[in-house]
Structure 1
Amino acid sequence: METAQNLVIRNGLVIDRSQNISQVANVYIANGRIAGIGEPPDRGIQFESFDASGCVVTAGLVDCQVHAYEYVTPLGVNIDRTCLSKGVTTLVDAGSAGSSTFPGLRKFIAERSKAHLYCFLHIAQHGLASAGCVTTGSGGECDSLNVVNVQDCVRVINENRDMIVGIKVRLAAAVCDDGKNEEEVYRRALEAANICQVPLMTHHAMSTIGHGGKLGCPGSLRTGDIYTHCFHGYNSLLDPETGKVDSHCVDAKSRGVLFDVGHGQGSFSWIVAEQCATEGFWPDIISTDLHSDSINGPAYDLLCVMTKMLHLGMPLEDIVAAVTSTPATAIGLTGTSADITVLKVEEGSENLEDSCGDLRLITKMFVPVAVFIGGERCPTSAEKSWPNPSCAAECRARVAKNKETK
């Protein structure tokens, strides 16, 4: 890692929606903090120079959904090795830990990682310690309501406000005793989130709970809550009768519910995303849901998911906001620490799969150029991990198997 107390990143396209900036400018870093954009803060200071001509300069990328509890859950990945090298400086673990298992996430993962790690605490006490991806098979973390303890969840959040930024719940029949517990699990998650005044992130797929109604999802979500996996293909946010975005989802977005990509292994459909793009229903947050079963495809990394949104026609400034200012605001991050990512949009020609194995020809893609945490430059890897030739076939086989077991 290279230490640079005083640095100027020159001539890049600086995009920062929180400051209404989208222009070619210089970014000045002094003593590990952003000291100015445009003119130098003090002409007496000597700055080392980094040339970002032809690049996009942003705040450090935020991946609002990963699974970082390596060795404790079957989904965990090493965030420094797999995410920081791709320009992601801040990550949020989405439910790997519950109230009983959170201390280990802090001690053994967050405190030992260079990248900043926060957490959505799972409403189930053991989190995802024995749970993997949701399929049509039975068995999951909320099969017993005995482990869905509101008081314990609230206590651990209040004791760890510096790291826990919200609550996570998976609403899927397969992880809630074949759907028998879903509504009660959802009620308890909402109750805990209300008590703590933190956002609730909901995984909502293959669920017995509809979009609207007395306890719908996203119908019952509050302003600032997060509806993740918004482009999945399983009873998706598209109305099956009209093929358009469900009115309950449109209403929720207008109320300030945040829609998040949360790509993962099984939660991104080109067909659903293309329909949403046609209607201008863009995600507020772009995240990977990166874990051991998605890191080698079809999610790969945050830049890959951003590339998919670029292919769909999402404006560059909106993409940047969805991986910087919007998720940062959603989880309550503030400050001027010099976490900065430098990216380039390159031309190419690659077939890129979704979670169903469907392919689209990608001609523009994001690649990392440099990443800084607190003004210190960290190693980056411009080598793409995608495409993985076998992944599309594996995705198609998994979808076919799920259909057979329904």
Structure 2
Amino acid sequence: MSEHIDILIENGNIIHAETKTIQKGTIAICNGHFVAYDPTVSYEIGERIQADGYYVSPGWIDSHTHIFKDATEPGFAADLGLIPMGITSTIDGGSSGIATWPIFKSHIVDANYLNIFYSINVSPAGQITERYPENVDPRYYDVDTLKNIMEKDAEHARGLKLRYGAEVVEPFGNDVLDKTIELADTIGCSITLHVTNPPCPMEEIVSKMRPGDVICHIYQGKRSTILDEKGEVKKAVWEARSRGVYFDSADARINHCYKVIRPAIAQGFVPDIISTDLTQNGIFSNMCWGLPVVLSKWLNLGLPLEEVIADCTYQPARIHHLPNGIGTLSQNAAANVTIFSVEDRNFHLKNRMGEEFDGEKMILPQVTIINGKIRYKNLYFPF
């Protein structure tokens, strides 16, 4: 009797995100995991996918979204919105705090096909609306409850989230970031730090961040940015990177600025992670749309395809310590796969800063496989 394979993806252009290389090949999946494939062996195959002419990569990770549907205004339906975008895993960026975490865990994390991870907001209520900022007063930080969440749900919890924008933190004094770092040190976790519209110079912020922390919206253009008055990436930013601090694009509608992006990447300061900061108001909008469009934008900005895909697969999985081999195509890893095409297609974007962007090549998801199950297939993809 022949051996069994649930899904065989044949003749695809396989992107190995760890090494940023592409080679023609075949991928086999059985019982939710990648398995070895020997073309000389006769197999019973459940489904063959002919991927000739398409790219095959580890399942895409959108490592900054807001998916606390029905409990927060920015939250949208995760499976419905993200799976057709080629996304197999996502990290919610602080939608829930300790007061709302139980509902977030039971109704979002445990109730979707997607692999869902999250950062806990330092605000007990989380980020429930875009109408006004969350309360990040350090007097209300609850070390014991936060530590209990991190230990109880170590598989999914990925550290703390602080929005360090002037509109959020100025009512609470100058030590919010310092107190958050103390909190993270006590708990033993990383911080994801929002830096759009910072209350102090960017170099002061990045100098405080620790190895393993993630600074998101790093190409923002409000108040102090990563560039100095000469348009050069600040020395403190380079030093933070060399120290082990990571940088996430988290573009969103207003958290990116081409006057910062273009000089920065010309100097070699490219993102460690590409993500969206997608919300109910941003999804499918011309300003952001979702991960395929954001990835396409970075491809058109000049990043090689292999690097773009690594920045939404292997890199976020490595940086955020995602389990089960997520972000790779390694044998025995959980079988998360995105099959996509790169096509000549003009597109136009306009962000909330009034900047416009035109692209010529579009990355189009075709098939989404989550933990060994096909959860989406484009109608135009070969049957």
The alignment's TM-score, normalised by the length of structure 2, stands at 0.90
Deviation at 1:308, TM superposition (A): 0.8
Q: Check conservation: 2:219, 2:249, Cα contact below 8 A.
A: yes
Q: Check conservation: 2:21, 2:306, Cα contact below 8 A.
A: no
1:42/1:35 CA distance change after superposition, 3 Å? farther
Deviation at 1:267, TM superposition (A): 0.5
Corresponding residue number in structure 2 for 1:52:
51
Whole-angstrom distance in 2 between the partners of 1:27 and 1:201: 34
Deviation at 1:158, TM superposition (A): 2.0
Deviation at 1:152, TM superposition (A): 2.8
Deviation at 1:272, TM superposition (A): 1.4
| Backbone CA RMSD of aligned residues | 2.1
Corresponding residue number in structure 2 for 1:92:
91
1:125/1:143 CA distance change after superposition, 3 Å? closer
Corresponding residue number in structure 2 for 1:247:
235
Q: Check conservation: 1:125, 1:153, Cα contact below 8 A.
A: no
Tell me which amino acid in the other structure corresponds to 1:147: Y
Does 1:371 pair with 2:368? yes
What secondary structure does 2:354 align onto?
coil
Corresponding residue number in structure 1 for 2:119:
120
Which of 293, 315, 327 pairs up with 2:304? Answer: 315
1:182/1:273 CA distance change after superposition, 3 Å? farther
Corresponding residue number in structure 2 for 1:228:
216
1:236/1:312 CA distance change after superposition, 3 Å? farther
Which consecutive unaligned segments of at least 5 residues does structure 1 have? 134-138, 384-406
Corresponding residue number in structure 2 for 1:64:
63
Which of 253, 256, 260 pairs up with 2:248? Answer: 260
Does 1:306 pair with 2:304? no
1:174-229 Cα offsets, whole Å, 9 max, x none, are 112xx1425432122212222333221000122223223xxx32211112211100
Tell me which amino acid in the other structure corresponds to 1:167: L
1:49/1:202 CA distance change after superposition, 3 Å? same
Aligned length: 367
1:90/1:242 CA distance change after superposition, 3 Å? same
Whole-angstrom distance in 2 between the partners of 1:219 and 1:175: 20
1:263-342 paired onto structure 2 within 5 Å: 263-295=251-283, 296-334=285-323, 335=325, 336-342=333-339
Whole-angstrom distance in 1 between the partners of 2:271 and 2:217: 10
Q: Check conservation: 1:67, 1:290, Cα contact below 8 A.
A: yes
Which consecutive unaligned segments of at least 5 residues does structure 2 have? 326-332
Q: Percent identity?
A: 26
1:349/1:302 CA distance change after superposition, 3 Å? same
Tell me which amino acid in the other structure corresponds to 1:353: K
1:174/1:219 CA distance change after superposition, 3 Å? same
Whole-angstrom distance in 1 between the partners of 2:225 and 2:243: 16
Deviation at 1:378, TM superposition (A): 1.1
Whole-angstrom distance in 1 between the partners of 2:354 and 2:96: 30
Whole-angstrom distance in 1 between the partners of 2:41 and 2:348: 49
Corresponding residue number in structure 1 for 2:144:
151
1:125-158 Cα offsets, whole Å, 9 max, x none, are 11112x317xxxxx52136443333333223222
What secondary structure does 1:262 align onto?
coil
The alignment's TM-score, normalised by the length of structure 1, stands at 0.85
1:361-400 paired onto structure 2 within 5 Å: 361-380=358-377
Q: Check conservation: 1:230, 1:236, Cα contact below 8 A.
A: no
1:35/1:359 CA distance change after superposition, 3 Å? same
Deviation at 1:355, TM superposition (A): 3.5
Corresponding residue number in structure 2 for 1:11:
11
1:220/1:42 CA distance change after superposition, 3 Å? farther
Whole-angstrom distance in 2 between the partners of 1:237 and 1:248: 12
Whole-angstrom distance in 2 between the partners of 1:379 and 1:205: 34
